[in-house]
Amino acid sequence: DGGITQSPKYLFRKEGQNVTLSCEQNLNHDAMYWYRQDPGQGLRLIYYSQIVNDFQKGDIAEGYSVSREKKESFPLTVTSAQKNPTAFYLCASSPWTGITGELFFGEGSRLTVL
């Protein structure tokens, strides 16, 4: 079945460590996105990519990094510079038709900093 796969579902990190969250899609979508979700808040955009080897910062990019070497993959690295990384992270993709950007989501990854 086509969809978006995020891994791991749960991740624990010690302070000072970098961690990488995986996001893979087999929907042949051009655009991919990373969102952060905190309790009681909506989704906030971290990074997005509309084409391979290109990506843009979203509203809260500080302390995060991404790469887009393949169309189907968009991993997110949470660096030690991210001051409050404990959150739920959602990856999404969209068939790039610009403004009509309906999003297809993965099941999410929950990161907890110990």
Q: Which positions touch other proteins (CB under 8 A)?
A: 31, 33, 35, 40-45, 48, 50, 58, 88, 90, 92, 94, 96-108
Nearer to other proteins, 16 or 40 (CB): 40
Min dist CB 31 to other proteins, Å, is 6
The dihedrals phi and psi of 25, each to the nearest 5 degrees, come to -130, 145
Min dist CB 58 to other proteins, Å, is 8
The runs of H, that is alpha helices, within 16-111 are none
Nearer to other proteins, 35 or 74 (CB): 35
65 and 90 Cβ atoms separated by less than 8 Å: no
First to last CA, the chain: 35
How many other CB atoms are found less than 10 A from the CB of residue 92? 24
Min dist CB 73 to other proteins, Å, is 19
Min dist CB 98 to other proteins, Å, is 5
Maximal CA-CA distance, the chain: 41
